[in-house]
Amino acid sequence: MILSHHGKYEFGSPKLPMTPEAVLLSALDDVEAKMQAMRNEFAKATANGKAADEMTDWVRSMDRPVLNSVAFLKDE
């Protein structure tokens, strides 16, 4: 499972996931990496003076800008 956690050869995995548990681990690893990338981009945008309701700059690892939905979900 550890060898296949990247999920695809092009992501650096020496093996492909071949069991349900390995597929799940790979999917969870991918989601966690994307969420961390978004947290990093939101922090960078804030540090650069962007408001919380503005799109970030282009996020290369995700192929898109991202938007922090927290600004729209807050009770005012």
pLDDT in tens, 48-62: 999 888 999 999 999
- Which letter, b or e, does each residue of 35-73 get, where b requires 16 or more Cβ atoms within 10 Å of its Cβ? eeebeebbeebeeeeeeeeeebeebeeeeeebbbeeeee
CA-to-CA dists, residue 32 to 5, 29, 38, angstroms: 12, 5, 10
Residue 49: what residue type? G
pLDDT band at 76 (very low <50, low <70, confident <90, very high): low
Q: For 59, phi and psi rounded to 5 degrees?
A: -100, 105
Report pTM. 0.81
Residue with more model confidence, 71 or 6: 6
